[in-house]
Structure 1
Amino acid sequence: MNKSPKIVVLGAGSVGCFFGGMLARAGHDVTLIARANHVEAISKNGLYMDCQGFQEYVAVKAQSDYLPLASADIVLCCVKSPDTESVINHVKTYLNKNAVILSLQNGVDNAERITKLVDNPTYPTVVYVATAMVGPGKLKHFGRGELVLGSLGGKSNELNELSDFFQKSKIPCEISSNIKKDLWLKFLVNCSYNGISAIGQIQYGKMVSTSEVVSLINQITKECLMVAEKEGVVISSAEADQVNHAIGVTMSGQKSSTAQDLAKGKLTEIDYLNGLIVRRGAEYGLSVSANQAIYALVKMLEKNGINTVSQ
């Protein structure tokens, strides 16, 4: 890996801005590809990072076009799961053929979908961070901020270099020996928390203080584990309970990305979260009624354009 790599964040929402901002703060060459209002604010003042450990404006480049991809060594792909194919197809003519792509996305199949479209080395990356954009060029960090890297095609020395790179930039990073399982553990959390947070426009900590919601999370979890097993991923109930509990504690002030999307009247990733469980459940002949209910309610709110931002 280039000792002074050029990093491009593709789809710089709150997750992309957090990790891109952390890398820029560590002195790396970073370009955020973001929406025009964020680009204007960041270009003028820098990216404002209101983090648990610091609050400051971080100097980082920002653009709305895809030209920086031509010289990128590392691409952090942070686009929404429903947009993966369309965005990658659109940018592949710009993309440096030697660039490493890291999929920092929700869901379990984005890296696979990317590799079907481009030949670049692509690694699924599990993200644990609680963030939100609270204004043009302004990021709020609610908790955590670590990455788990892995390869779907066996071990890679490149992963060691990438992990060292992130850790030296003060981003905790581990290499997984079973990235598919780690992807499903994070996916389980997304299915358990995102939709409920969106429907109630409520933070995780408040969610889990309601016993009826905890019971619902437990049922969603059981259904996800049944589907995961059919997919060749074995997760114990104890492992599932541990990861679900940790999210409620370490990200108590966070509203899910699905909640943030609904509040802004935007389409969500629910088709690639609980919706995927519903589809796979039907394929395997499994009853996944709790996931079906969450999926249906979020789709209803999406369809009717409910905007709860002022509530």
Structure 2
Amino acid sequence: MKFAVFGAGGVGGYLGARLAAAGHEVHLVARGEHLAALQSDGMHVESVLGDATVDLPATDDPADIGPCDCVLFCVKAYDTRDAAADLSPLLGEHTAVVSFQNGVDNERWLADSIGEGHVVGGVAYIFSTIKEPGVVEHTGGPARFIVGELDGRRTDRIEALADALSESEGIDAVLADDIHVELWRKFTFICAQAGMTATTRLPIGGIRETDVSWGMYRRIMEEVSAVARAEGVELSEVTVDEWLDFARDLDPEMYSSLYYDLTHDNRMELDALHGSVVRHATDAGVDVPMNQAVHALLRPWADRNA
């Protein structure tokens, strides 16, 4: 298959390298110093599941690549609309554009720009980041990638994509029965992990040790789950308990990308996380006071960093 990775950072770079090592044609879209390093030295992946080095074509102009079978769309959520406007050179009649991003709105934003027929939902469970230009570091997580058509159909293209991912070393691929459930399931967890580590400026260990903070962590997830169900998403009743069990076993020093961006003066994905919860909750008539509190506390910092 011919792939384009639009946003070859921690998630996209990892996927691109693994797919290329499995024999697929992979093109990278990146920018800045990271792009320069990819063009001069190739992509290096340092992973707990095995390192990899691949020399792949990299560009900042999708027109250099042309139509693909699949585009892995891995930009930050706040860049979705602008980046979607640049996708047209990569699109053939049946091209799948798979969003591997934080949040539950990206697929709709993509569909508004390129048409729903091109959009595929995706969920990534991996801890990876750009260690330095040209180097992606995968430090943990199951490297599980869940994909699914928005309407739940088992199309030829989604099965081909799932097969390509499954056949690649270092990737655990899952074909979802209902990708909307999977999107909201992850969203439930990341809103709690991101919101609490960013507002307290503490890692998960400090939150677990403080009863009222651990209680808020749970309430954030309960609120997000309630919004999902109000919108008709069939999220399991045990979702919150499952994520709490997972969070209890996390490295006590683990933070979140929202915390990292806050403390490094980077643009933040607050609108795609707690801002999105508040918007969806308003439309659904659900009370979400914990998520509103996180959004209010971080709003000035998100505005400043923007």
Q: How far, CA to CA, are the matches of 2:270 and 2:64 in structure 1?
A: 30
CA contact (8 A) 2:17 2:52 kept: no
Instruction: Decide whether the 8 Å contact of 1:69 with 1:96 is kept in 2.
Output: no
Percent identity (aligned): 29
Shift of 1:96: 3.4
- CA change 1:65–1:207 in 2 (3 A) is farther
> Is residue 8–residue 72 contact of structure 1 (8 Å, CA) maintained in 2?
yes
Identify the match of residue 23 of structure 1 among 19, 31, 36.
Answer: 19
For the structure 1 residues 140 and 231, does the alpha-carbon distance in structure 2 shift closer, same or farther, using more than 3 Å as the test? same
Q: String of CA shifts for 1:143-169, please: whole Å, max 9, x gaps.
A: 121111112223123222211111101
Instruction: Tell me which residue corresponds to 1:167.
Output: 166
1:132 to 125, 129, 133: 129
> What's 2:298 paired with?
298
1:43 counterpart residue number: 39
Is the contact between residue 65 and residue 89 of structure 2 (CA under 8 Å) also seen in structure 1? Answer: no
Q: Any gaps of 5 or more consecutive residues in structure 1? A: 307-311
For 1:217 and 1:58, the matched residues in 2 are separated by 40
How far apart are the structure 1 equivalents of 2:81 and 2:138? 29
CA contact (8 A) 1:69 1:95 kept: no
In the TM superposition, what is the alpha-carbon distance from 1:204 to its structure 2 partner?
4.3
Which TM-score applies when normalising by structure 1?
A: 0.87
Q: Does the Cα contact within 8 Å between 1:205 and 1:249 map onto a contact in 2?
A: no
CA contact (8 A) 1:8 1:68 kept: no
Shift of 1:123: 0.9
Is contact 1:220–1:290 with CA below 8 Å preserved after alignment? yes
Say if 2:3 and 2:26, in contact at 8 Å, map to a contact too.
yes
Task: Give 1:263 shift.
Answer: 3.5
Counterpart of 1:107?
103
The within-5 A match list for 1:1-311 is 5-93=1-89, 95-119=91-115, 120-143=117-140, 144-158=142-156, 159-170=158-169, 171-204=171-204, 207-246=207-246, 249=249, 254-305=254-305
> What's the secondary structure of 1:287's corresponding residue?
coil
Whether the 8 Å CA contact 1:130–1:251 is kept in 2: the answer is no
Shift of 1:175: 1.2
Measured in 1, the distance between the counterparts of 2:227 and 2:233 equals 9
CA apart distance, 1:69: 4.3
Contact 2:152 2:178 in 1 (8 A): no
Cα distance per residue 1:61-108 (max 9 Å; x no partner): 222222244132210011222222221123325533432211111111
Whether contact under 8 Å (2:204, 2:250) holds in the other structure is no
> Per the alignment, in what secondary structure is the counterpart of residue 30 of structure 1?
strand
Give ranges in structure 2 of 5+ residues lacking alignment: none
Contact 2:7 2:75 in 1 (8 A): yes
| Structure 2 CA distance for aligned equivalents of residues 232 and 87 of structure 1 | 29
Alignment RMSD (CA, Å):
2.4
Give the aligned length.
302
Structure 2 CA distance for aligned equivalents of residues 205 and 17 of structure 1: 29
